[in-house]
Structure 1
Amino acid sequence: MKITPRERSSCLSDPRTPLVHRTLWRLLDEFDVRVGEALTPEIPDVPLGGPSLWIAESKEGPKEINITSEAAADLAQLIGSRTAGPVFVEEDGIRLSEMASLRHSVG
């Protein structure tokens, strides 16, 4: 399933978009990462307030990406007081799946 630039833009600008999806799509919009790669970071991979995000699993191997202040703020809000586990989780605490993220982006 692919999403169009229009769908991605809509997901980012719609205030009804849950933070977990908005943060994911911001990373996808701003950086050269795949959905599956963006969903892999664990909380220790994110230096809060820092300018980077560690992607441990990618087709090119582990990589660090520099992130914008907007992405850093979204990540900090998304993580909140959690200290371990996946960054991108559903409301029930289960890791967000690629299919769930794509389904949400296209309605």
Structure 2
Amino acid sequence: MGLVYIDATVKNEGKEVPVKLLVDSGSTYTVLKKEIWEYLGLKPMGEVKLILADGTVIRRKTSEAVIELKGYGERHSPVILGESEDENLLGTVTLEIFGLILDPLRREIRPARLLMK
């Protein structure tokens, strides 16, 4: 299986930035590199502990931004305020907000079959 990237536009208070996001179904939240969120003027709203693949625990601030995915519109989503060395990631919370899932076989995102129980 390969990596899946998607083009997005992240917006806040009249500013917007095109971003290539790595779709990471193992990541809970969307992560934005420091250069992106600082340019947009995102302000920390909280903090979370995150566990990396190697078991390392790190802390990052959280905020909210508007994310636009071509063909799927735009939605308000929580984001992690990453550091410069962090990767721009599209996490599962944002995917669910859009009603999308990652299809790893086709290496694309697609509408999810939404259930109400």
Fold-level similarity (TM above 0.5): no
Higher alpha-carbon Rg: 2
- TM-score by length of structure 1 reads 0.30
Higher helix share: 1
Higher strand share: 2
- TM-score by length of structure 2 reads 0.28
